[in-house]
Amino acid sequence: MELTKQFYKDLDSKILLEATLPLEYESNELLLRNLSCILTLAGITSFDISANPESVKYVNEGIKDAFIINKDLNEGINNNPFIKISFGALNPLKEQYYHLGSDDKLFSKSFIEKNLSACIEKGSQIIELHVGNMDDEQFLSIWKIINELSQDGLISINLNRVFKSNAHLVNLIKKAYEINRNKPILQIDGATSKGKVESYSDSLQSLATADILIKELKIKEKKRFRKMYIILCGDINTKTNALALICNIEYSGLSLGHHYMNSHFSFLNGELNQKKLVEDMDRVHFLLPKVKDYLKKFRMLKK
Amino acid sequence: MIASNISRKDQMRELFDQGKYFKLVCGAGNEDAEEVRRLSTIYTLAGASGLDVSASPEIVKACKEGINFAYSISDELGIELGHIPFIKVSVGMPGDHHVRKAFIIDSCVACDLCIPVCPTNAIPDSLVIIREKCIGCGLCEVACPPKIDAIRYEHNGKDIKALLPQCLEAGAENIELHAAVIDNSMIMEEWEIVSQSQPDHFISMCVDRLNLSDKNLITRINNAYEIAGDRLMIQADGVPMGGTGDDYNTTLQAVAIADLIQRKLKNKDKKFKDLPILLSGGTNSKTAALAGMSDIDFCGIAIGTHARSLVQEHVDSFIHNVDFESDLINLKSAVKVARSLVDTI
């Protein structure tokens, strides 16, 4: 219960800053451990990884490393970052499934239960279901399973408008939150840009989808959705907050996506595969200021 | 008036290329001829490039009269006018917001909450909605308490095959199909009729995301291109008839849908490189600025609710004042307000 409170507190304070760990790091102990360690030290409050128990374990170890280092550096980190596992349908932007495995496995109840339970056991606290191109029946049946699996009820929906109209999305979310009675958490995906140049247009799709859901749910369906949290993802960049402010879109957190992490944290390439950071303080001293400087740009969520 | 040797289609293309096409939307459902006539006069004098009206020969004629009156008095008002505005008629399928009419059923408890929210003053104290004025925006439905649920709609059905030639005969030059309903095959049948009705000019398809996913929307535009070719223009409708505020939030959806079309078609497929995208649906004085900062390559902006509300006071005073044509002080004042909006693009 404390965990749930902490997560909602982060969302209420609008300080949730999540990093999506690159898919190519999947199951690589040293890379995942070191990346989650340095990002934890720099102030990331949540990690988003695919539903792979091994990966969850390595990220959890990286977080523990960060707290060991923190004793010497006194970086002021207090709460463990949350580990969210992403799971679900076809990612329309990448044309691949988030979750490893065949279609049959993906949608088999026993496989989902076994795999997600293993992730929870290894340290993940939040489960996110990606709607993608799933049909409603399929989505809601999986949503029911993860609702039962998650003891704290911390489950979220990742959505976008690629395969769903405004009306369809609104209807589906209403159905999902009849099953889960917690405060709704929606992670809203946008477009995928290419290249390093950050532009306002990168966040347009994510913000515009958030705008629709705020108007159709938070404002019109106050009874159930008054306390609805929105996390923006999908080409979030340092201009997102400015655009959200002028467009009057209120959100609770930002999730930095795969592409962003790959292109903007490239200075970490070659630095994380040497040895464990917890045993390499010189490297920590070298990398940490750079990572912190970058993350500072996202620390302006409030008006 | 600018004398020109180029065709009307090429004139339109020039405006598109400059990103300066401003269209006043009188409302696909607005069948109040006098109001349309007066709006047409005001916005023609303000420099609008296009006027969008209901697919009715009488309304087209009223619009044309309004334009002609504007040209007849422009010298007296010291206004130099350019090309004659293009008159576009809008048609839509059953289920499309633009071509529906609201009515109030017996469960109404006369709370009157719907009266002040109606942007066209179509709901009088008697609570019998004035059909000619209703544009189907649905704001009355939003205002109606859910427990009462007294607003219903009827489709303002029209046989477009018979009607479009009459509208063109009356002076319309362009046709727009509101294609936001789910059924693709029905839409394409109507689109074929639109295409055949106006074979030598731009034809416009208006799309939004209420009932269409991004994938469906892109497929629909691809299908539309197969029929219309380079005559296709897209009206990217953010929130249909959603221009109730003059801020960035109100216009966000219009810019976002244009961004989607740009990313998926204009930037990816050579044949769509020059596809004209007209922003609409929640558009206002902030639209061009938001589109500009978001790097949207748009051909112009269509503004309805906000544009009409800016001059509504003047239009209403004209309506009460029978001597519209000689009240040039009031007209000049209305034109000044309208111009401040037209000049934002």
Q: To the nearest whole angstrom, how far is the Cα of A205 from the nearest Cα of chain B? A: 6
- Cβ within 8 Å, pair B256-A205: yes
Q: To the nearest whole angstrom, how far is the Cα of B260 from the nearest Cα of chain A? A: 8
CATH topology of domain B97-155: Alpha-Beta Plaits (3.30.70)
Q: How many CB pairs under 8 A join A and B?
A: 68
Average pLDDT over residues B329-342: 94
Q: Does A197 touch chain B (CB under 8 A)?
A: no
Domain ranges of chain B: 8-94+157-342, 97-155
User: Which tokens belong to B267?
Assistant: 């930037």
> A274 CB contacts (<8 Å, ≥6 apart)?
A280, A283
- State the pLDDT at residue B153: 86
| Ordered mean pLDDT values, 10 residues apiece, chain A (303 residues) | 82 90 85 96 93 93 96 85 83 44 57 88 93 88 90 89 95 95 92 73 95 95 93 88 94 88 84 94 95 83 48
Ramachandran angles phi, psi of B23, nearest 5°: -120, 130
The residue among B88, B37, B3 whose CA lies nearest residue B300 is B88
Residue B319 exposure: Cα atoms within 13 Å on the Cβ side? 14
User: Which tokens belong to A139?
Assistant: 């989505």
- For B125-134, B167-176, B227-236, B278-287, which range has the lowest pLDDT when averaged over its residues? B125-134
| More confident of the two residues B118 and B209 | B209
* This prediction's pTM: 0.90
Nearest residue of B to residue A216, measured between CA atoms: B142
User: Which tokens belong to A148?
Assistant: 């039962």
Q: Does A248 touch chain B (CB under 8 A)?
A: yes
- Cβ within 8 Å, pair A161-B209: yes
**SS3 of chain A:** CHHHHHHHHHHHCCCEEEEECCHHHCCCHHHHHHHHHHHHHHCCCEEEEECCHHHHHHHHHHHHHHHHHHHHHCCCCCCCCEEEEEEECEECCCCEECCCCCHHHHCCHHHHHHHHHHHHHHCCCEEEEECCCCCHHHHHHHHHHHHHHCCCCCEEEEECCCCCCHHHHHHHHHHHHHHCCCCCEEEECCCCCCCCCCCHHHHHHHHHHHHHHHHHHHHCCHHHHCCCEEEECCCCCCCHHHHHHHCCCCCCEEEECHHHHHHHCHHHCCCCCCCCHHHCHHHHHHHHHHHHHHHHCCCCCCC
ipTM: 0.91
Q: Residue B332 and residue B338: Cα distance in Å, rounded?
A: 10
When computed from its CA atoms, the radius of gyration of chain A, rounded to whole angstroms, is 18
Nearest residue of A to residue B145, measured between CA atoms: A220
- State the pLDDT at residue A89: 64
Residue A249 with chain B: CB contacts under 8 Å = 249, 252
Class at the top of the CATH hierarchy for domain B8-94+157-342: alpha beta
pLDDT single digits (tens) B140-195: 888 898 888 999 988 766 788 889 999 999 999 999 999 988 888 889 999 999 99
Ordered structural domains, chain A, with CATH: 2-296 (3.20.20.60)
- State the pLDDT at residue B21: 97
